[in-house]
């Protein structure tokens, strides 16, 4: 239980919760789909180093993913299908693909640039309440890379457990070293 020791070292107290890493869902071909998505996004084009707005990044990533997901039977839904009632607010995802057969049938996309480095769950949890799977793609710029270096071992372990227990996956596209 390395995560537990990390937590105790970090906080000095015992946790009052259990991450539940022993149970998991049936992923279908989610991991293969995510690998194909990552392949479509890499190598990142040099102009991604200059991205400053998430809306621009969302469009670029959707464009790069479209043919790959189409080859897997997914069709991009209209933007009107991307918003839904979440716990306490109206949530809007950055894209939704659907397919007629296979699992997952619905796949939501969340694109992050510099936001939510310390809160990677917020939109993913909203999305998983509505869609079969969620893929969160972060374009890692130099500023974002600095922020991500402050992530604690406990946070990293929580994300690993989350990905094991739920159909949520995270992809980082590191453009911080591109000139």
Helices (H), 14-152: 30-41, 54-71, 122-128, 142-148
CB neighbours of residue 51 within 10 Å: 18
Residue 128 to residue 25: CA distance in whole angstroms: 13
pLDDT digits (tens, 9 = 90+) for 118-162: 777 778 888 998 999 999 999 998 888 888 888 888 888 888 888
Residue 21 is predicted with a pLDDT of: 54
Q: Residue ranges per domain, the chain?
A: 23-174
Cα–Cα distance measured from residue 78 to residue 75, given in angstroms and rounded to the nearest whole number: 10
Give the residue, 175 or 7, on which the prediction is more confident: 175
Task: Give residue-wise pLDDT tens across range 48-92.
Answer: 998 999 999 999 999 999 999 999 999 999 999 999 998 778 999
CATH 2.40.330 fits 23-174, yes or no: no
Strand pairing report for 133-140 and 168-174: parallel
pTM metric for this prediction: 0.83
Q: Which two tokens stand for residue 143?
A: 């500023």
Q: For residues 112 and 95, give the distance between their C-alpha atoms in angstroms, rounded to a whole number.
A: 13
């Amino acid at each position: 239980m390395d995560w537990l020791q990390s937590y105790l070292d970090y906080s000095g107290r015992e946790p009052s919760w259990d991450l539940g890493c022993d149970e998991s869902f049936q992923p279908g071909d989610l991991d293969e789909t995510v690998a194909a998505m990552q392949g479509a996004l890499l190598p990142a084009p040099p102009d991604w180093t200059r991205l400053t707005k998430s809306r621009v990044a969302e469009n670029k990533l959707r464009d790069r993913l479209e043919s790959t997901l189409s080859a897997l039977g997914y069709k991009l839904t209209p933007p009107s299908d991307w918003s839904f009632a979440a716990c306490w607010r109206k949530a809007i995802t950055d894209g939704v693909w659907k397919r007629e057969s296979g699992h997952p049938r619905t796949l939501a996309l969340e694109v992050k640039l510099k936001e939510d480095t310390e809160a990677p769950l917020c939109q993913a949890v909203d999305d998983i309440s509505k869609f079969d799977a969620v893929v969160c793609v972060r374009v890692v710029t130099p500023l974002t890379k600095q922020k991500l270096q402050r992530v604690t071992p406990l946070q990293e372990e929580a994300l690993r457990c989350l990905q094991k227990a739920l159909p949520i996956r995270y992809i980082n596209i590191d453009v911080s070293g591109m000139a």
